[in-house]
Structure 1
Amino acid sequence: MKEKNTTKLTLFALTWPIFIEVLLHMLMGNADVLMLSQYSDDSVAAVGVANQILFMLIVMFGFIATGTSILIAQYLGAKNRSIAAEVTVVSLFANLIFSVVISLIVFLFSSQLLLLMDLPPELLSEADTYLKVVGVFSFLQALIITAGATIRSYGFTKDAMYVTIGMNILNVIGNYLFIFGPFGIPVLGVEGVAISTVFSRAIGLIVITLLLFKRIEEPLPFKRIFKLPIIHVKNLLKIGIPSAGEHLSYNTSQLVITYFIVMLGTNALTTKVYAQSLMMFIYLFSVAISQGTQIIIGHQIGAGKVEEAYKRCLKSLKLAIAISILTAIPFAFFSDSLLAIFTSNSEIIALGGTLILLTIILEPGRSFNLVVINALRAAGDVKFPVYIGILSMWGVAVTVSYILGIHFGLGLIGVWIAMILDEWLRGIIMLLRWRSRIWVNKSFVQQKAS
């Protein structure tokens, strides 16, 4: 049960369970989309817009989890396990308080939030139901994210994977029961999908909490929560807020872009949901590689192995780019058949196929951002990606989406071109930042030691 020495683990050993976990997270979302597509295309669009808001919440909850992951990795690399245990307890407690407040706000103001998206009237009722049910229990996801980040930083990436497998199984079973109504169970549609999501998360939280106590050898000082140094909270915020800022900026910009797409009509919105559901399977390799790389680099930086960290990032980047291209090509070739799984609407299938084709260009650029930004965060360089991200996401992605998609009438194709420009611009700048080695002296552990 002792903590693993992750500095001795290969990238593959850390990454493959993360890959499975991320895949299953995506399958959970796609299970909702796929099953609802048999129920109603309008329901798919309603849940898609509601999920844009819920993704924003996950980003907000993630800023503490991100700080937790980086701090624990660096402290474990420096062989200071007692402080790593303190950081674990503080982060869980802080995210619990924060997420409960946010969950209540979403529940009380769900309709107003959806109206800000200029949602078509026929979609508002279902979207509001989904957002209320999932939103009020979103604190469950906040704690799962934090506990999962902790377990992965200790090297137990398989545990988080197993929890996700269980959550997916429960979610699919719940979806089936409430959407198709076997055995006389009432058909609840969107409401049923929301209930299924909440129930599976509740069980997942119980299991991952038990694993947290079981896997970490150092006693977790929950009884001393109010006596632990306040500096831990400050350090979590110091690292987490800038890290979350980049994610928050991205998701906020995506909300605005979704607003533009809503202007194009329900068909365009549904096409976007289906296309992005497929695109997730393309970039999940880069997501897994970037998270595994962050764990390794965090430990290496904590141990003072700067040159090893530098080379690890570049190797991971090359691998992520190669895999994203090789994965995108067959998805583009079989896009019609894949989209036909979700819908029989020929207009949606044709447009969605064009978007998947453009993804061959988009995804390598996304790989730059996923891998290099996570490496910079692991090294303690968390502010620079935020500054560049805000400039590019809003100056390029949002602005060009409106100019090409709305003003010049290119629709979703114009939006996808804007996203390509944004990902590649940010990605190249991040790579130059990594090569500059400015991040070498930004390690939290090294700064404290000095």
Structure 2
Amino acid sequence: MSNWLQKYGRHYSETVKIGVPIVLGQLGVVVVGLVDNIMVGHFSTADLAASSFVNSVFNIPILFGLGFSYGLTPLIGQFFGRGNKFRVGGLLRNSLLANLMIGVLLSLIMGVVFLNVHRMGQPEELLPLIRSYFLLQLASLVFVMMFNSFKQFADGITDTKTSMWIMLSANVLNIIGNTILIYGTFGLPALGLTGAGISTLASRVFMFVAFAVLFFRRLSYRRYLVGYRRTAYNSGDLRVLNRMGIMVGLQMGMETALFSISGVMIGWLGTVALAAHQVVASISTLGFMVYYGVGSAVSIRVSNFYGRGDIASVKRATMAGVHLLALLALTVSIFFLSVRGHIGLVYTSSGEVVDLVAVLMVILVFYQFGDSLQIIFANALRGVLDVTSMAVISFIGYFVVALPVSYICGFVLDWGIEGVWTGYPLGLTLTGIMLCCRFYYFIRKKNLKPFSPTSP
């Protein structure tokens, strides 16, 4: 035990120290939608089902955008590890431009989706609710992307608390706005799901504006601000950021797409199935973001060690993350099993939805270990800049394996929503195993070199 603690103890403590604020901040990404679902679920089941569809669709661009911005973190982390704060500021400047362009592109794509939402097989009575909420989510995409640049910059320099406090403050703002606008208080009309959308938009605008003000005015950021102001927009930084960001964004976006596409398929089964799927998927996303917060801490530490050429610490930091997430997955699984029969009541009073949620929670437990495994090794590969293989492996696990299995079990074998969910444990666990093998293959074969921003 003493040898074990001597080997991993420092890595545990440092990962937790960096990771806890990231976990709390990551929860802020999904808690906005989670709170919307809970509050609109008590307003009406129709509003909950419409929220389910829109949030499932928007999880793809939002988490792709988050993943795209994650490409900045290991680049920042390696320069920070080498003490080059001027380059950190320059990367942030170019990252803001790259994220703005991606945000506009995602908005245009989702605008096309909005024009075709009536063709996606959703219940006709939900379309008016879906359209209004969809437009409000669309308006917030660019603000989410711009905030992500600041957040990943701060995470890369190990300042993980600033993002946490901003996101928690935004959640408080969102809850207050929901209370006023969903149910109608202070003489205002009850807007239901539309009110939730307005509140979400306001909270996301607040996050970007708050961080921008802090960056330009906080004394501790001055050394990075010099690099920000003196670095011109340039194709070299943009090329590296885009290459890193697109691969990481695809990896995160594909897992989200797995749940979102299957969510569209579940919509073919009716409102009750769609509402139950949204409840359990939102719980799953909550767990995913907790795991990803720890994974992000591993990525930051791995990128710092990788920039210094310390291969032994790269491996130990990664394995410490595996240990921490295995313990967390076990704890989460026990909790899920203990509350599975009652947790649906938090979202809705519909007995049919609550019973179906209890069934899906069992399947949710089956993929906790696989999900945590693929998150750790995806982030470890991100930390050593091996992002292309990470994206390819994720494509195989999610789209070649999980999604076809979901469709076959759900509709060909006619197992319904339980069949659709059967594909998740298989796809996520297989992805985790493949990413683990790739990481250790990379570590054995890669000769560490001094970091170059144009040739990772």
Candidates 111, 122, 126, aligned match of 1:123 = 126
- Of all paired residues, the percent bearing the same amino acid is 23
Shift in alpha-carbon separation, 1:361–1:138, aligned structure 2, 3 A? same
Q: Classify 1:283/1:111 alpha carbon distance in 2 versus 1 (closer, same or farther; 3 Å).
A: closer
Match of 2:187 in 1: 184
* Alignment correspondent of 1:156: 159
Using structure 2 for the length normalisation, give the TM-score. Answer: 0.91
Q: Distance in 2 between matches of 1:449 and 1:340?
A: 52
1:361-398 Cα shifts (integer Å, max 9, x gaps): 21110001111101101101101121111122112111
* Residue 95 of structure 1, aligned match among 71, 96, 99: 99
Partner of 2:239: 234
Match of 1:83 in 2: 87
CA deviation after TM superposition for structure 1 residue 53, in Å: 2.4
Does residue 1:65 correspond to 2:96, yes or no?
A: no
1:21 is aligned to: 25
Q: Given the two structures, how large is their TM-score scaled by the length of structure 1?
A: 0.92
Amino acid of the structure 2 residue aligned with 1:204 = M
Q: Residue deviations 1:183-215, cap 9 Å, x none?
A: 211111111111101111111111111222324
Give 2:144's aligned residue.
141
Which 10-residue stretch deviates more, 172-181 or 335-344? 335-344
- Residue aligning to 2:6: none
Q: Unaligned regions of 5+ residues in structure 1, if any?
A: 1-5
1:439 & 1:330 partners in 2: Cα distance?
Answer: 41
Query: What is residue 396 of structure 1 aligned with on the other side?
Result: 401
Find the aligned partners of 1:351 and 1:381 in 2 and give their Cα distance.
40
Residues matched between the structures, number: 443
Report 1:146-295 matches (<5 A): 146-213=149-216, 214=218, 215-216=220-221, 217-221=223-227, 223=229, 227-295=232-300
Structure 1 residues 447 and 280: alpha-carbon distance in aligned structure 2, compared to 1, 3 A threshold = closer
* Residue of structure 1 in register with 2:7 after alignment: none
The CA deviation at 1:224 is 5.1
- Is it true that 1:343 corresponds to 2:348 in the alignment? yes
In 2, Cα distance between equivalents of 1:343 and 1:7: 42
Equivalent in the alignment of 2:359: 354
The 1:407/1:170 distance shift into structure 2, 3 A limit, reads: same
Q: What is the DSSP-based 3-state SS (H/G/I as helix, E as strand, rest coil) of the residue aligned with 2:224? A: coil
* Residue number in structure 2 paired with 1:379: 384
Secondary structure in structure 1 of the residue aligned to 2:387: coil
Contact 1:381-1:442 within 8 A present in 2 as well:
no
CA contact (8 A) 2:237 2:453 kept: no
SS across alignment from 1:180: coil
Q: 2: distance between equivalents of 1:345 and 1:443?
A: 59
Distance in 1 separating the partners of 2:137 and 2:100: 16
SS of equivalent to 1:18: helix
Determine the C-alpha separation between the residues in 2 that align with 1:443 and 1:169.
Answer: 45
**Residues of 1 paired with 2:198 and 2:406: CA distance?**
35
Worse overlay, 7-16 or 332-341: 7-16
Question: Residues of 1 paired with 2:32 and 2:87: CA distance?
Answer: 35
Q: Supply the AA of the counterpart residue of 1:230.
A: S
In structure 1, how many angstroms separate the alpha carbons of the residues matched to 2:287 and 2:106? 32
Pair 206,45 (structure 1): closer, same or farther in 2 beyond 3 Å: same
RMSD across aligned C-alpha pairs, in angstroms?
Answer: 2.3
SS at match of 1:182: coil
Which stretch of the first structure deviates more once superposed, 408-417 or 140-149? 408-417
Q: CA deviation at 1:176?
A: 0.4
Aligned-residue offset at 1:296: 0.8
Q: Which letter maps to 2:53?
A: V
Q: 1:77, 1:303 within 8 Å by CA — same for their partners in 2?
A: yes
In the other structure, the counterpart of 1:3 is none
Pick from 53, 58, 61: which aligns with 1:54? 58
Corresponding letter in the other structure for 1:191: T
Q: Which moved more, 1:209-218 or 1:352-361?
A: 209-218
Post-superposition offset of 1:113: 4.2
1:11 is aligned, of 11, 15, 31, to 15
Partner SS, residue 184 of structure 1: coil
Q: Is residue 40 of structure 1 aligned with residue 56 of structure 2?
A: no
2:370 pairs, out of 361, 365, 371, with 365
Structure 1, 201-210 or 95-104: larger mean CA deviation: 95-104
- In 2, Cα distance between the equivalents of 1:228 and 1:47? 39
1:97 Cα deviation from its structure 2 partner: 3.1
Partners of 2:426 and 2:126 lie apart in 1 by 32
Q: Distance in 2 between matches of 1:363 and 1:290?
A: 14
Shift in Å, 1:330? 2.0
Displacement of 1:220: 4.4
CA distance in 2, matches of 1:449, 1:97: 23
Aligned-pair CA distance for 1:441? 4.0
- Tell me how far 1:324 sits from its aligned partner: 1.0
Question: Conserved in 2, the CA contact under 8 Å of 1:56 and 1:251?
Answer: yes
Q: Secondary structure of 2:367's match?
A: helix
Give the CA deviation at 1:299. Answer: 0.8
Indicate the SS of the match to 2:309.
coil
C-alpha distance in structure 2 between counterparts of 1:357 and 1:376, whole Å: 30
Deviations 1:287-330 (A, max 9, x none): 22101111111111111111101111112112102211211212
Structure 1 position 249, deviation (Å): 2.5
Give the Cα separation in 2 of the matches to 1:328 and 1:30: 20
What is the CA distance between 1:26 and its match in structure 2?
A: 2.9
Residues in 2 aligned to 1:141 and 1:314: alpha-carbon distance in whole angstroms = 32
User: 1:415 aligned to 2:420?
Assistant: yes
- CA displacement at 1:29 relative to structure 2: 1.6
Q: What SS does the corresponding residue of 1:187 show, helix, strand or coil? A: coil
Provide the C-alpha distance between the structure 1 equivalents of 2:396 and 2:12, rounded to a whole number of angstroms: 38
Residues 395, 350 of structure 1: alpha-carbon distance in 2 compared, 3 angstrom cutoff: same
